[in-house]
């Protein structure tokens, strides 16, 4: 066994454990989000399909899918790191990781990577199910991948922050329901922000989820509300900023090491 392999075995183990943790309950962590999205699709396409056309030549049901995929990617990436941390803290088993020589950076990378994997696994599963019923064009696959990876990374980091901050499940639920849900529902998943009054369009530009959804959707249709490069820059800057905050909290041992 080379030294390099041994060096990375610690964070690799933590990453593997985090992957197994959500995979052991994959009905809840992967299948359930797919089902939720299918229900959204069924209801919205039934109610609005044929009446609304957001982009020229793109039926509403097709328009919906990328936004719903990205919303699920983001919510699940957040749920992965945040739920793992809060559970470990409440149950006390976080001590098993804290007693090890893993550095704060290794801890961060393992949790972040696992969040990205869960986000992508959920997103890809929804995509596979969706294309069984609906033709979904893929215009810029690299944009799709880029927004999915950095978006889930950003929410993975945000999940670590929430998991560190929260001391009970109630606080975590508040974070999920009062921060993540409104930001994702008001990000243009179900509409183009051009359909909003000017004031609300400006408000939408303050929501980082809007850039992730719009950029991701651009990857499919080649059209969006704003430039995908600008969206990608916003996502990257937000990802880096949140990562730095998370690293700072981990380095300080915030609510982990007294």
One residue of 34, 37, 86, 97 binding other proteins per CB under 8 A: 97
One residue of 4, 99, 132, 142 binding other proteins per CB under 8 A: 99
What's the distance, Cα to Cα, between the start and end of the chain in Å?
36
Q: How far is the CB of 209 from other proteins (least distance, A)?
A: 30
Considering beta carbons, is residue 102 or 226 the nearer one to other proteins?
102
**Joined tokens for residue 227:** 């430039």
One residue of 2, 27, 91, 197 binding other proteins per CB under 8 A: 91
DSSP letters for 196-247: S-HHHHHHHTT-HHHHHHHHHHHHHHS--SS-HHHHHHHHHHHHHHHHHHHH
Q: Which of residues 59-88 bind other proteins (CB under 8 A)?
A: 88
Q: Is 139 in the site for other proteins (CB under 8 A)?
A: no
Considering beta carbons, is residue 103 or 233 the nearer one to other proteins?
103
Closest CA to 242 of 172, 134, 161, 148: 161
One residue of 28, 103, 171, 233 binding other proteins per CB under 8 A: 103
Q: Is 115 in the site for other proteins (CB under 8 A)?
A: no
**Joined tokens for residue 149:** 């990876």
> x/- contact string, 185-224, with other proteins (CB under 8 A)?
----------------------------------------
**Joined tokens for residue 120:** 């992508």
Ramachandran angles phi, psi of 223, nearest 5°: -145, 145
For residues 123 and 73, the answer to whether their CB atoms sit within 8 Å is: yes
For residues 138 and 46, the answer to whether their CB atoms sit within 8 Å is: no
Q: Is 258 in the site for other proteins (CB under 8 A)?
A: yes
One residue of 39, 47, 98, 179 binding other proteins per CB under 8 A: 98
Per DSSP, 178 falls in state I
> x/- contact string, 3-22, with other proteins (CB under 8 A)?
--xxx-xx-xxx-xx--xx-
For residues 128 and 33, the answer to whether their CB atoms sit within 8 Å is: no
Q: How far is the CB of 78 from other proteins (least distance, A)?
A: 19
> Total binding residues for other proteins by CB under 8 A?
31
Helices first, then strands: H and E counts in the chain? 12, 0
Write out the residues near other proteins by the rule CB under 8 A: 1, 5-7, 9-10, 12-14, 16-17, 20-21, 24-25, 88, 91-93, 95-103, 253, 257-258
């Amino acid at each position: 066994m080379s030294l390099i392999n041994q060096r990375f075995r610690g964070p690799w183990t933590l990453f593997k454990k985090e992957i197994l943790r959500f995979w052991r309950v994959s009905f809840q962590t992967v299948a359930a989000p797919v089902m939720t999205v299918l229900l959204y699709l069924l209801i919205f396409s039934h109610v609005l399909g044929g009446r609304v056309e957001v982009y020229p030549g793109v039926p509403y049901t097709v328009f919906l899918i990328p936004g719903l995929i990205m919303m699920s990617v983001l919510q699940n990436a957040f749920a992965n790191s945040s739920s793992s941390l809060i559970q470990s803290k409440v149950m006390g088993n976080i001590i098993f990781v804290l007693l090890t020589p893993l550095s704060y950076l290794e801890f961060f990378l393992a949790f972040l990577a696992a969040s990205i994997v869960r986000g992508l696994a959920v997103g890809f599963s929804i995509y596979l199910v969706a294309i069984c019923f609906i033709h979904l064009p893929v215009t810029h696959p690299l944009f799709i991948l880029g927004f999915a990876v950095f978006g889930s990374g950003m929410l993975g980091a945000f999940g670590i922050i929430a998991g560190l901050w929260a001391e009970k499940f109630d606080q975590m639920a508040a974070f999920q329901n009062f921060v993540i849900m409104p930001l994702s529902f008001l990000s243009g998943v179900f509409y183009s922000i051009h359909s909003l009054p000017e004031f609300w369009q400006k408000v939408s530009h303050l929501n980082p989820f809007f850039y992730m959804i719009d950029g991701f959707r651009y990857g499919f249709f080649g059209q969006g509300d704003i430039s995908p490069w600008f969206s990608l820059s916003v996502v990257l800057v937000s990802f880096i900023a949140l990562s730095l905050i998370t690293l700072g909290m981990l380095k300080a041992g915030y609510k982990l090491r007294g």
